[in-house]
Amino acid sequence: MTNSQIGIIMGSDSDLPTMQDAIAVCTDFNIQCEVAIVSAHRTPGRMFDYAQSAHQRGIKVIIAGAGGAAHLPGMVASLTPLPVIGVPVASRHLQGLDSLYSIVQMPAGIPVATVAIGNAKNAGLLAVQILATSDGELLTKVQQYRQTLAQSVMDKQTKLEQLGYQQYLGNL
């Protein structure tokens, strides 16, 4: 059993620049995560082992990057009892639409949550929120994070009112 509660997986190291935002969220909330390259096509045995044993290692949520052929989130979801969040990774040819469509077209009974194309940060935040449903201290941190977001918007509004929109735009 590991101390990691969130598994962050991707089919290739080329997905890591996108997935690093999910890792950063885990770090910001002081949640250990394990990060692994688990290809649905090149290492299917590894994918099977990873997905089927994740809950036994203490993982509670899996975030899976969906690049290229985009099968990793769905295949992992079919093999694990854990919630899986798919991150569509923007591809060279189809800009991530192929990955998005793959994730949202899962058959009934095999759910995979998804976030916007390339938005691993939101995947990390969703994973944290899932963990927070059974962790009061973490829930408080999520609430504080949300308050910080709201305050940021209010600060921008105050600045906009003070400067006017043209000068505000000039400062962006």
Give the annotated binding-site residues for substrate.
12, 15, 42
Report, in this order, helix, strand and coil percent for the chain, each rounded to 5.
Answer: 55, 15, 35
Coil, helix or strand for 84?
A: strand
How far is 17 from 76, CA to CA, in rounded Å? 21
Which residue in 52, 147, 40 sits closest to 103, CA to CA?
40
How far is 157 from 151, CA to CA, in rounded Å? 10
Annotated binding site: 12, 15, 42
Coil, helix or strand for 88?
A: strand
How far is 61 from 66, CA to CA, in rounded Å? 16
